[in-house]
Amino acid sequence: MGSKMMMTDLRHDHDGLRRMMQDFALMMRSARPEDMLEVTRRRIAFSQAFREHMAREDGMVQQLRKMPLSPEAGQALREHGRAIVALFLRYSDHIKIWTPAQIEADWAGYRTAVMGLQDGLRERMAWEEQYLHPLLRPEVRIAA
């Protein structure tokens, strides 16, 4: 697969994740305990899309690590690696803490937690689009 196609795929993933987050945030504004089935369905769908994206992105990053990179590109990959681990741990903690029973018991707290998690993910995706995705261009990878 060409790097242009990979960049397009990753951007498409980000756009889809953003739409899912926005739709979920809108739903949560008026959600009630009786909406738990829909909340659960959307959580699972987002989790699957997020994992699939992470796998695609990780594959791309692993390929980049095998190539000669500029010091700036190497630094971007290291920063990305640290940030992804932190984001993944935060997301895992969120899933463990916010069980369906806990969500039903504290809708307002769950909404607040979701919005914070979404803000962090949006910031990470914006960073990736600015610093990581450009590394996919072949001309950037060629060592001088």
Q: What is the pLDDT of residues 99-125, one digit of tens each?
A: 988 998 998 899 999 999 999 999 999
Instruction: Round the CA-based radius of gyration of the chain to a whole number and report it.
Output: 17
Residue from 100, 139, 126, 144 nearest 4 by CA: 139
pTM (2 decimals)?
Answer: 0.84
For 143, residues 6+ apart whose C-beta sits below 8 A from its C-beta are: 68, 69, 70
The domain limits of the chain are 3-135
Architecture of the domain whose range is 3-135: Up-down Bundle (1.20)
Return the pLDDT at 68: 86
CA distances from 3 to 8, 46, 101, 133, 139 (A): 9, 26, 44, 9, 10
Q: Which residues of the chain have pLDDT under 70?
A: 1-7, 138-144
Return the pLDDT at 104: 86
CA distances from 80 to 56, 118, 136, 144 (A): 14, 18, 14, 23
Q: What is the pLDDT of residues 51-64, one digit of tens each?
A: 999 999 988 888 88
